[in-house]
Every structure is written in structure tokens, then in C-alpha cells.
Structure 1
Amino acid sequence: HKAVREALANCLFNADYHGVRGVVVRRTPDKLVFENPGDIRTGIEQMRLGGVSDPRNGLVMKMFSLIDVGERAGTGVPDVFATWANAGLPEPQIEENFGEADRTILTLMLEADAKPDNNEQISDDYEQINSSNEQITDNNEQLNGLNEQITERQRVILHFVEKSPSATYDDMARAVGVSSATVRRDAEILIGCGLLKRVGSRKAGHWEVRGEKNHDIR
């Protein structure tokens, strides 16, 4: 029960409440699935190992600590893994789904011999394929004309990096209010369109906004 409580608290600490769908918890006879909007800020491996805490919602975490839930930052998920191992249950699974709505998914199997539902896996695969097709369609639509290829968020990103050429993806994400992964994809689209260029190395380089100054990027 404590491990399940920690899993739920972790969802609430790290949810991107500006995202869509919100926190979702699903219970089936053989598993518990916790989903929250937003990617994993520390990365999957670091989340599993623990020791590093970078919650999106520090005040939410602090409130829970007052009732002794998630009081040790960076230890909640490792405790869940340890509890499941001690109970002889399958190792918990952590996934990140990237798309128009980035999501983090933690799955806890409740039976020692439980296996993933093949039908559910097929359904998930079809959803991923459909999402990919939708993304391709979106990208093709963006490439039809200069004014149509740039979304409002991408205009904001271009304006921001024009003023702050040394900005990181995290800086851009904070400026536009989305995840770093979403900003990274927007930057790749802008680079592909020839409107943005990365000059120099990843750490020491800078951004250049390309094209005429009268492009509608503000």
C-alpha cells in the first residue's frame, strides 16, 4: 500500500498541469497504471535509480511531505521497485510517450505470472501508428507556405531565441509553457523549414533565426 501511495504521489509531483488529459489511474485485475502529463525531467534511468529530485510541482511535494508521503525526495520510485521485487512481482515498467501530449506511464503488475495483454499491446501499437501518421500529416501541413508552416508556439520560440541566442531547450520550454521534449521537436521543425539554425556545439553554441526580418514570427 505504501508503494502504491508513493507511485500516486510521484504522478502528482511531476504532472505537467498545463498539459492535457491530466493524471489518470487505471486499475485492472492484473495491474495498476499511473499516467501523468509531461515527460520525466531527470530521465527514466535516473528516476528508477533515485537520489536526484527535480519535481515540477515543489509545493505539491511539500504539502505531501507534511503527511509523511514522499518525504524523502528522489526515493519514491526506487522504493516502489524494491517493494515489488520483495513481493516477487514483475518489475515495474516506466514509459514515456511523446506526441502532441507528452505522458509518463508507470505500470505495476499485481500478479507474479502476469503478462501484458496482447490485445491491449496491439491497441497501443495502433494508437502509436495513428499518432505518427497524424504527426506526419501535421508536419506536411506546416510545410505548405511560410505563414502556415509556423504555429503560434513556434513563432514565440523564434522570437525568444532571437532575443536570447544562447537559450537552452529548458529555457525555451519555460518561456512557452511546454515540456523540453515538445520544444525540441518544434526546434527540429523550424530547422527543417530553414528558419532556425544551431551554430557551434550543443553546450557552447548558439541559435540563429534565419530568413528576412519581416517574417511573421512576432
Structure 2
Amino acid sequence: MATKDSSLPIARRSTWRDDCLELVCGIANAGGGRLILDADVDSRGVVKRKTNRIMKSIPSTVSQALDLTCAVELVLDGGQFCLEVVIPPAPEPLSYRGAFYFYQDGENRLMDGDALDRLLQPELEPDIKWEMRPVVQASLDDLNLGLVARFTGTSRDTDLTTARDEATAIEEDLRHAGLMTGVGTPTNAGILLLHDRPHQYIPGATVRIGFFGGRGGTPVFEDEICGSLIEQVHATVEALFDKYLPDPSPRNDPSSRNAPGFGMPPRDAVHEAILNAVAHKNYDSGTPVQVSVFTDRICIDNVGRPPRTWTASALLGRHTSRPNNPNLVAALRRLGVIDGWGNGIGSMRLQCIEAGAAEPVIELRDDETMVCFPLDTDSMLVSSIIDNGPLPSQRPARSEVPEVQVTARALAIQHNTSLTANDEKVLAMIDIDGRLTAPRIAKNLNISESTVRRSFRRLRELGLVERIGSDKSGFWQVR
């Protein structure tokens, strides 16, 4: 099961009842959290009919009653199967049947008096999150209508100057998503997502790319990518692979994956890293996301980092989503651009493994997050247009490994044995996705299926993994 953030509210009930909607309302008003319900599962790990019916009905019930999108999944909690209802933070105060609730210290409180006033009028509080601050110079008319239409599902040819009912509905939808205020002024998040040139209103709302060759200092050449947030991501990836990186086409043949010179990071992994950087950046800093290309690596650096209790090794493993800009991430999830489940790093790692490329290196600083993709030095030297001096003596070493691998090595030592490199690679892959099969892992690691199955057996004997369900339809659970 994914690592959970203990600071988020967690409520537990034996089963789903009508009063659970009050509980969901209170948790959403408290900033989001989880509701844990008992699950009825047979010895094979198969959900029984009643639990399956409840599991499927909860999202639609919550959506109809609270206009809130939640997710339900089957998880292991304390060794028992449970249903986990993941409740996002409410973009604005929610009420259920006219009453407002707030979940705090294990109690779902009915809000009234001063407490209700503070809940309904957050603008009276001195600390308004950056993404919710209004951009008073702009209005709905300044936004890109195509982007607005894509987000709200309205017609692209809607004339907002004459179709007032339609405009009002659009404003209401954007306000509910935290992209617009109640007086028709876009928020910072709305400008980032729906304006063609957000940097006109938000300093540093761009991506800078620089080619540094074999040394640091001043870049040999550089570009600044502007546009809406989604456009910045796509344009940055296109510029990187069209202008800054060598043509990988000679290496598209899978049979060459272990040949000298192979190792360019896959486009999808780089896209995910840049998307994470622009989505989770601290925009108060006024600093663009920086993409630095060297002869041996690509480094993607943004101001902003996960919670300070998290280490780089925890980030490399499975973890919950803790966005710095929750409304912006929720809007990107609604557009289908991001999944919002904290799977980005795992997705990057798996894509690199499957492409035969080195895994990304994560570095967390006081107020920055850096993701580095090691590159094939020889191919970059060939593509370099000028002599940039000697290469660094060695590539940056991974200073952190996933926590699951640290645990695995320690446990192996306790049993007076050791794990092979293949054992650790197999463990890393099933930690990312427990439903990966032996044939797929064998193909991606370029080893035999029997080697993978031996690793399965060794990892299970050490108590590092267990099989949930049948061999055919089950999955691996990292313990």
C-alpha cells in the first residue's frame, strides 16, 4: 500500500451509511483526506458482491450530493483489506443539505457562528494561498476561449459577450474549480492554466532551457518557453528533443537497447518530469523552471519541494500526492493531463527501465527539487556543435535509492545472504507496479523468465514481497 501522509485527516467507519456524506463534506472542508471502510474479501483477495457494489456506487453518490470527485480503491490497512475513499480538498466551502461540516481531531463538527463565518469568508484570513489570489488586471474575456472550452466542456464558438447565461455558467464552473473568484476575476491558477501568456501577470511563469555542454557557467545557447502551462510542457519537450538532444532514431530498434551508445531517456519520462516541475513549483519565487542540458545529463530544476519530512528515497518509492498547488493539480487531473495519485516518479522510473535507460536521479534541497536524467555521453559529444572543454570525470552518482531497496539490503544482511542486481531490479519494478508479469519484467530487463521467477522466490523467502490473489489474476505486494 502506498505511503500515507499522516497530516491528512483519516476517518474510519465499518460500512457506508447516509451520514458518511456529512463526513466526506467535513473532510473536504478540512483540506481533504481519507475515509476507511471495512471490506468483505474472500481468501483469494477477490472483493465480494456487496463490497463491490458499495465500491462502485460511492463516487457517483458523492458527486451527486456534493459535486465532488473522489476515488475508491481496495487497500491493505493493518493487514486487513479495506476500502479507501480518497477525498480531495474542497475548492470552496461545501455544504450537505444546507449544513456545513468540518472534520478535525477525529470529530466531524457542524459549523456555526464565528467558525462558519471564517469557513465561508476565507478572504478575511490574512494568508491566502498563492494559487487562489486574484489577478485583478484580467477577466474572463482575457482567457483563451479554446482552453476554457476544453476545461468546461462548452462550445468553442460561444460568444461570451452575448450569451450571458452561458458565460455565467462558465464563470461558476471556473469559480468552483478555484480558477476564478466570485467577482469574475481569474485567480493565479486560472491565469496559469487558461491564459496564452501567463508570464505577463505572473513573473517567472516560463521554462528556460540551456545547453551547457561539458561544463557549467554560461549556456552555449538557450531558449525561453512561454504560453499556457500545458503548452509550456509540450513546447519544452519538443524543443529538447528537436534542438538539444541527438536524434535517437538509429537506436529505435529494441535489439540495440544494450548496445554501446544507447541510453537516451524516453520522451514520456522527460514529459512527466517537466509536467511535475511546472505543476508543483512555488510560483511566489518568480523563478522559471530551469532545464539544463549537459553532455552527460539533463537536469530539471524547480523552486518548490515535497513536504520536508520526505526524503528523496521516499519520493522514489510509492507515495501519496501532496501538491503545492492543489487547485492547479486538480484542474490538470480534470483535463486528463495528470493523474493526481503521486504516481509520476514511479511512471518515470518504469519508462526508463523499459527503454533501457538509466533511472532518473532525484535531489531535494531546502527549497528546490531537481530531477536528473543521465545521458549517453558519446552521442551527446557527437551532437555538440562546439568544443566545450573536458567532460566531468564521472557522471553524478545516485545519492538516494528507494526505501524499499534500502530495507531489502538490510534484511538480506540479517539473513546472512545478499541480493543480486537482478533481484533489486525486479523488486524496484514490482514496487512501482505489482501487476507486472514475469514475461514483461524479463523483456524489459533483458533477462530470462526463469531468472525473474528465481528473484520472485528469493524476495518472497526474505519476506520482502507477498502474492495477493491467484498466480493468474493476483498481484505482488511489497511489504
Query: Which one has more relative contact order, counting CA pairs under 8 Å at least 6 apart?
Result: 1
Q: Which has the larger radius of gyration?
A: 2
TM-score range, shorter chain: 0.3 to 0.5
Calculate the TM-score normalised by the size of structure 1. 0.46
